[in-house]
Amino acid sequence: MPRSSELLYPQREPVTPRPAATVLLLRDGEQGLEVLMTRRSLTASFTPGAYVFPGGALDATDGQAQDVARHRPGQVGAALTDAVAALRESFEEVGLLLAEDAEGIAISAAQASTLDRSAPLLPQLRERGWRLSAQRVHVLARWITDRDMPKRFDVGFLVAPAPVDQTPQADEQEQFDPVWVNPSQALARHAEGTFSMIFPTIRTLQRLAAYATVQHVLDACDSEQPLWVSSPRGGHLKDKVERFMESDPAYGELALTCPDGQLQHRLDWQSLTPVSLTQGVRRLTAPNPGIMTGPGTNTYLIGRPETGFAVIDPGPNDPVHLQRIHDATGGDIRVILCTHSHLDHSPGAAPLQALCANRPEVLGLPSAPTANAMHPPFHPDRTLQHGELITLSGKVDGAPHHYTLEALFTPGHAANHLCFVLREDGLLVSGDHVLNGSTTIVSPPDGNMDHYLDSLDLLAEACVRWQIGYILPAHGHVLGFANKAIAHLKAHRLAREAKVAAAMRALPEGSLQDWVAHAYQDTPQALWPIAARSLQAHVDRIRRLEAQTA
């Protein structure tokens, strides 16, 4: 994690979330799977006017209801408390009671109508010898309200089949207008502006839309663990506050820039001025967006005025971009580092050097003989060694301050590829080896899949050694959960390789184009020519492995 002195904003402690539970009551309707939703009061203190699922904060009595709740053997502790709370709230808010009598027979609508919804539910159940059907409630997800909110909840999202003969009736105090709705239809109405929902509800319905029936949902939730746990983060995008889950590309950048959840960071891509990621790390994106570069090539400026600056990947030979780099650093560039020699990374190094009065050294690895001729040859002033350190030093607020970059040799995407670890702050500048939002191309002969996978292992070890939490890629936003990101990337590559091997077995006389059609069915066909380059790297690796075992 970055040093506290490197954080962009004074930190404050977010509000502690209150435990709560909500239940998605499901039925199979004419439009397929349907879920019950109600509209919250316009005067509610939390999400007024939004359509939600029944639920609310846990009561002290919810955890003391084992005698009035039938449950599964593994449904104990917090899981049972959440189920009781959700079923209690569904009765209080919409009048639906998922319960059974002493013989295990479901409570009918007529029986449920004998209960007083304004009085505590659990004593009434005890009086009649009824039990809540908690065993029919399953854990779907867990949502924790965003850190910037003044009122926060830690909410178990549960699913259960709705009582078959009961009609929902809102309490007309907290909840109004109960409606059975298909998840996809709810999302469409929200997009039209006629069905207001908050972020967790939207994302939950997006997941739910993948299931055709109630039983499909229950089968997916057959363990006692949530399918996902999320505490979203917010940032500004196109002048609006947008929320993001941990799996979204922007999440890591928001966690790095605003760890306490403040709504300070702007996510829009722009090339005019640098974007601050920490006090000592800024990103200036080159104006070269495209299918291969995404929003553009990220140039990273490491350092402060007191220490001077290291520039990583000056990008293409774009005079306007290079002048912006020079201006952003005040011309005090101590060293220029290139992750590799591709067209969008290193050509700007020499002209940027010429802009600087002190002519800083250009460091990296020279182009290998296998380099593609379309990329201009790269000849650094000095060749970096694996493990070599580049240090910037100065005094900040009267105290010594350092930025130490360690060069890591990571061939695979290119034969001369380097990554850089900013040791003091646990940051990895990954070049094209790890990207955000896509997987990198491994194009032989300069690219090599064996080397690529080995380099991922090396980066995973570096993440442990230097407690790296964030990855700064050459294209896309900052990635969080660095170790998980690298592990996921390796698993993805090996899964793709399995598909390539299967295509080769199915079509032993096939061409690369034939194999691409089989192994990259989940990729838009327009990208198959690009995918064929990485497929060739997989084919080469498969054949090498086969030769070793022959």
- Domain regions of the chain by residue span: 18-231, 233-261, 269-486, 493-549
Nearest CA to 141 among 153, 125, 158? 158
The CATH number, out of the four listed (2.102.10.10, 3.60.15.10, 3.10.20.30, 3.40.720.10), of the domain defined by the range 269-486 = 3.60.15.10
The answer to whether residue 28 is catalytic is no
What pLDDT was estimated at residue 48?
84
Contact 296, 289 (CB under 8 A): yes
What pLDDT was estimated at residue 504?
96
What pLDDT was estimated at residue 45?
66
Residue 179, token pair as written in the block: 């409606």
Cα–Cα distance measured from residue 234 to residue 267, given in angstroms and rounded to the nearest whole number: 10
Cα–Cα distance measured from residue 133 to residue 68, given in angstroms and rounded to the nearest whole number: 9
Low-confidence ranges of the chain (pLDDT < 50): none
Contact 535, 519 (CB under 8 A): yes
What pLDDT was estimated at residue 44?
72
What pLDDT was estimated at residue 76?
87
- Domains 18-231 and 269-486 alike in fold: no
Cα–Cα distance measured from residue 49 to residue 27, given in angstroms and rounded to the nearest whole number: 24
Calculate the CA 510 to chain-centre distance: 37
**Placement of tokens 């066909």 in the chain:** 525
Angle of CA points 243, 245, 250, to nearest 5°: 70
What pLDDT was estimated at residue 437?
86
- Of the residues 344, 425, 432, 446, only one is catalytic, namely 344
What pLDDT was estimated at residue 50?
92
What pLDDT was estimated at residue 420?
98
Predicted TM-score of the model (pTM): 0.93
Judge: domain 18-231, CATH 3.90.79.10.
Answer: yes
